[in-house]
Chain A
């Protein structure tokens, strides 16, 4: 469809040339019979307009012109049509061959030469622009393809990220389980067995010793438990704490953070997105907005988590979504959620992510 535009001008030139020939006929002295030449050329031209004719069809034009050369001078002018068609197909040498007819034309052959020459030039120009168009179109197609591939890859990476975090969580659970088993399990089991044995022992000294053993074991396992918990508690902020932390250390303006619901239901990669949303929104506020108060509301229900960030600033109506927000939109979409932005009264960002059932 894109090829239509140069074709329009090419067809325009063809029909304009026919108009020129008609004008020549009117101002000339030719007989009515030679008007047939123009009609025949009109037929060939309209055929070219309707169908893509093969290059050898130019021979028909040349033949028609040749037939009428004894009768009228117009046929020499009409040879411009085959010159143009040949040049249009890139057969420049062949089209220059038609210039030979200049030596046979009786009248105004110098004018005719210039007419042929400019026809030839327009033919070459059309050839080049048609060719360029094909190249441009190919290039545009390739670009588009590359862009689609990039987008595809981005989505794949985000999905991989999500599954990796899921895997990490499972492995961590596994590690905690084995840690508990290794360090606490033996001692607690031992203590429990010793207590059961204690009921059956009559000898008080023996019992005293056993009780001491139980005490030691419990003491050791309490220490172990404390150590394990201490070892496993991450030193970075996580989950809601991280959000609170961000809000706390953001000093430019007041941030009013409210939360409701069970924060534990939200998984780690989801926290990652929520954190990124809050950061992006606050950065935007700090950079572009004149807002003084930011309301942040985090709601976790049974099936979704919703983060709402609203400021009281005034934004220009036509400001468009930046790349940061766009990538967040893609990330939230990859988690099956959505992120929407409204600029009517201040800046409002709402991010909704569905929660995974059963962890």
Chain B
């Protein structure tokens, strides 16, 4: 687990990263509650966007490794690509899960009304993995960190809007309502709605399993080893 330990150290060693990783989730706790929509406080509705951003920020570390030739050196070291990738991803997911815990349980302490906090936490964790996997698949197409980050940022804007995280899906035209299902953000939005109104646990399981399926697809696509 050496790689895991150093991946964690590397993320926390960078001050900008540390600020980015702690300030924003904490800020999310204090955002106000909306009138009518969204049903959860704004911070929780928008936390998904933040997870997407953090996902790409963490995943670009792998891209950096590729650019600096770390992957090439690892290829001749007695470390398999699987070990490298899995331990890095594990470290990143630990960080993301910690943030989810801060947001959800900090919200309880602050006194936000979260309906079913533990399930909300589960939903966020599922979405964290999906976000990390999508970011991993995304960076596998790029060589340059900045380009991939900027383009992914634009992509985030699009899928967040089309998935119904910023605008309630009810006011979409019918076609867009159907198209929205393609995006993982739609399932997060559905899950958030379920947290408030949901009764049937099967629906919640369906939402989580879809997020996990996205995770698997993107990990399969993104786990290719690229050596330049």
Contact = CB atoms under 8 A, between A and B. Distances in A.
Contact present between A and B (CB < 8 A):
yes
Interface of A: 22, 25-27, 32-33, 35-36, 39-40, 42-43, 46-47, 49-50
Contacts of A25: 178, 181
B213 A22 contact: no
Nearest to B179: A26
Contacts of A42: 213, 217
A43 B209 CA distance: 13
Interface in B204-228: 206, 209-210, 213-214, 216-217, 220-221, 223-224
A26 B175 contact: yes
A32 B216 CA distance: 19
> What is the size category of the interface that chain B forms with chain A?
10 to 19
Given A32-B206, A36-B209, A36-B210, A43 B179 contact: no
Q: DSSP majority for the B interface? A: helix
A50 B217 CA distance: 11
A50 B214 CA distance: 16
28 contacts: A22-B182, A25-B178, A25-B181, A26-B175, A26-B178, A26-B179, A26-B181, A27-B178, A32-B190, A32-B206, A33-B206, A36-B206, A36-B209, A36-B210, A36-B213, A39-B213, A39-B217, A42-B213, A42-B217, A43-B213, A46-B217, A46-B220, A47-B220, A49-B220, A49-B221, A50-B221, A50-B223, A50-B224
Q: DSSP majority for the A interface? A: helix
Nearest to B190: A32
Given A43-B213, A43-B216, 7 more contacts: A22-B182, A26-B179, A26-B181, A32-B190, A36-B213, A46-B220, A50-B220
Contacts of A49: 220-221
A116 to B, nearest CB: 25
B164 to A, nearest CB: 13
Contacts of A32: 181, 190, 206
Interface of B: 175, 178-179, 181-182, 190, 206, 209-210, 213-214, 216-217, 220-221, 223-224
A36 B223 CA distance: 22
A24 to B, nearest CB: 11
B127 to A, nearest CB: 15
Nearest to A42: B217
Contacts of B214: 39
B141 to A, nearest CB: 14
Contacts of B209: 36
Given A22-B182, A32-B181, A39 B210 contact: yes
Contact of B220 (A26, A35, A43): A43
A32 B206 CA distance: 9
Contacts of A26: 175, 178-179, 181-182
A39 to B, nearest CB: 4
A43 B181 contact: no
Contacts of B179: 26
